[in-house]
Amino acid sequence: MPGKPYTHNDGFEIMRQILFLFSLAFCLLFASMAAAQTQGKLINETEKKQVVDAVGKRLVDFYLYPDVAGKMAALLSKNLDNGVYKTINDPKIFANRLTEALFAVSRDKHLEILFGPELVIETKKEASRKETVETINRELERGRKNNFGFKEVKLLEGNIGYLHLTRFYDVKYGGETAANAMNFLSNADALIIDLRQNGGGDSSMVQLLTSYLFDSNPVHLNDFYLRGGEKQTQIQEWTLPYVPGRRRPDIDVYILTAYRTFSAGEHLVYNLKTFQRATIVGETTGGGAHTVAYQIINDRFLLKVPNGRPINQVTKSNWEGTGIKPDIETPPGDALLAAQIKALEKLTARTDSPDAKFTYDWHTTALRAKLNPVRIDESLMRSYAGTYTGEYGQRKITFENGRLFSQRAGGAKLALIPLAAELFTYEGRPELRLKIVSENNRVTGLKSIANDGSQLDETRDKDGAGEKT
């Protein structure tokens, strides 16, 4: 199909855009050259004093603990007056020495003086950037390509819901996706939330997800304290009185954690652990509770300063520096299996239905074998080899290269995977199992079991073998 006819106005617009892009490129080049020149410039005594004075003021105005801030500001001034930094002319080394002094007083690993003219330029851009249709669309597109952190939502064996979250986005962008995910899982018998790769994000998503796991009566979760200048702001966090879809205050929740679980990821863990709404499975989390702000000192230096902290309503504390210890400690790679097993065990103990107990036990047995693979002595496996006959004809069990195989006449040969010393499942056929039947220490037959509970007996042919050793 032919395009829109070319007009004079189109040509003018193209020329205008070319000139704009040329001007933008020139400005960026100029800024880059200026930053490079600033980067290589040594630091003199005048700038040292300027940095020390500005850092001290920012600490007093923004650091979480005002009394500690005053002590740090005093130490920097004292060191400067006593000539501690006199021989330093490299700005990076100067920044590092100031950071060491701050840590000596506060023991706070988040506090840092940064040297970086380019970083200052970027920080200024962020501070001046207003939320426009363009920025909203850009953030929406970025979140959409990551499905707003909802990497995987599915049902596992035994009707256990599984939610894999890699990041928390602002609910104004990801709220609809969150509601869809939680409603998909609303009929599960237990819920596993995987935060092993979650490094944080926006606390509004934490509040929404937490709210799905409580009833409609709002619960006071945390108070957030933010410092800025002489003002301290307190923001309360409560569960929401309304969420789109069904709440599940009754469901057992398991959260998978790793050391990489950090910041807002830990926020969700801490909420549910302290209010006894979840069992934590995995390893201790990273330990980042405080919010951090970047304060511009001058054109070359920045101060990274913790300026906010949550106070949980149960513990009157938070997880800063300590992380959150799991209830069930296990390597992160085993955490999902461990959580599934624990969930199924609780469901089994809770139900009075024989059919439900059978189903839960069926899946638990398979998962335990995955978590701790069963090893069977070779001589015992050899004793299982032989020919068996049942309602559907003959079956041969063979021992080859350290493994057992099952094959019916004219059928495919299937490897047997041990679930216990005398119980096997088929490779690729988890809905079927074989149980070895023995009498007087001799293998006498097989019991074929399906996941619906049906069973078939098969008798071992009298081939003179089958004695267990």
4-8, 9-13, 67-71, 235-239 — which is least confidently predicted? 4-8
- CA gap 103, 97 in Å, rounded: 10
359 in helix, strand or coil?
Answer: helix
**Angle ∠(465,446,416) on CA atoms, nearest 5:** 90
Quick one: angle between helices 8-40 and 117-128, nearest 10? 130
Mean pLDDT check: name the lowest of 126-140, 195-209, 250-264, 442-456.
126-140
**pLDDT of 293-328, one tens digit each?**
899 999 999 999 999 999 999 999 999 989 999 999
Q: Take residue 255 and report the two structure tokens written for it.
A: 């959260």
Contact in structure between 460 and 384 (CB atoms under 8 Å): no
Q: Measure the CA–CA gap between 171 and 194, rounded to whole angstroms.
A: 19
User: What count of Cα atoms within 13 Å lies in the side-chain half-sphere of residue 278?
Assistant: 32
Characterise 106 by phi-psi region: left (phi > 0), alpha (psi -120 to 50), beta (else). Answer: alpha
pLDDT at 2 over 80: no
Statement: 378-460 belongs to CATH 2.40.128? yes
Rounded CA-CA distance 290/306 in Å is: 6
Tell me, what's the pLDDT at 229? 72
Collapsing DSSP states into helix, strand and coil, what is residue 387? strand
Mean model confidence pLDDT for the chain = 90
CA distances from 398 to 323, 385, 404 (A): 52, 5, 6
Q: Which of 109, 76, 169 is nearest to 292 (CA)?
A: 109
CB 445 within 8 A of CB 460: yes
Q: Measure the CA–CA gap between 170 and 285, rounded to whole angstroms.
A: 22
153 pLDDT higher than 90: yes
Find the mean pLDDT for residues 190-217: 97
pLDDT at position 463: 62
pLDDT of amino acid 469:
54
Torsion of the alpha carbons at 270, 273, 277 and 278, rounded to the nearest 10: 100
257-300 pLDDT, tens digit each? 999 999 999 999 999 999 999 999 999 999 999 988 899 999 99
Distances (CA, A) of 153 to 25, 156, 194: 44, 10, 10
Q: How confident is the model at residue 3 (pLDDT cuts 50, 70, 90)?
A: very low
What one-letter code names the amino acid at 240?
L
- Flag whether pLDDT at 34 surpasses 70: no
| pLDDT for res 1 | 39
Q: What is the pLDDT of residue 4?
A: 35
pLDDT at 7: 33
- Cβ atoms of residues 247 and 214 within 8 Å: yes
Tell me which of 379 and 464 has the higher pLDDT.
379
Q: Report the percentage of the chain scoring pLDDT > 90.
A: 81
What is the Cα–Cα distance from 320 to 322, expressed in whole angstroms? 6
Q: Residue 212 and residue 184: Cα distance in Å, rounded?
A: 13
Report which secondary-structure segment, H or E, holds 395: strand 393-400
Would you say residue 377 has pLDDT above 50?
yes
Q: What distance in Å separates the CA atoms of residue 265 and residue 173, rounded to the nearest whole number?
A: 18
Average the pLDDT over each of 4-8, 316-320, 457-461 and give the range with the smallest value: 4-8
Give the residue with greater pLDDT, 217 vs 139: 217
- Across 378-400, average pLDDT: 95
Q: How far apart are CA 236 and CA 220, in angstroms?
A: 7
Residue 17 has pLDDT above 60, yes or no: no
pLDDT value at 405 more than 70 = yes
Which has the closest alpha carbon to 107: 71, 79, 83, 80?
71
Structure tokens, 259 = 């050391």
Q: What is the pLDDT of residue 215?
A: 97
pLDDT in tens, 96-149: 999 999 999 998 888 999 999 999 998 888 777 667 788 788 888 999 999 999
**Six token digits for residue 382:** 């050899």
Instruction: Confirm if 175 and 243 have CB atoms less than 8 A apart.
Output: no
For residues 142-161, average pLDDT: 96
Q: CA 454 to CA 330: how far, in whole Å? A: 36
CB 120 within 8 A of CB 299: yes
CA atoms within 13 A on the CB side of 31: 15
Fold category of 148-296+304-332 in CATH: 2-enoyl-CoA Hydratase; Chain A, domain 1 (3.90.226)
> CA 343, CA 157: separation in Å to the nearest integer?
11
**Residue 177 contacts by C-beta under 8 Å, 6 or more apart in sequence?**
147, 148, 150
Block residue for tokens 């019916």 = 408
End-to-end CA distance of the chain: 81
Q: Is the pLDDT of residue 23 over 80?
A: no
Residue 249 has pLDDT above 60, yes or no: yes
Among 12-21, 169-178, 354-363, 455-464, the minimum mean pLDDT is found in 12-21
What is the reported pTM? 0.82
Q: Answer yes or no: are the C-beta atoms of 56 and 73 closer than 8 Å.
A: yes
Q: What is the pLDDT of residue 130?
A: 67
Distance CA 106, CA 114 (A): 17
User: Which DSSP symbol is given to 237?
Assistant: E
Per-domain residue ranges of the chain: 45-125, 148-296+304-332, 378-460
Question: Rounded to an integer, what distance in angstroms lies between the CA atom of residue 359 and that of residue 362?
Answer: 5
Q: Residue 240: its pLDDT value, please? A: 98
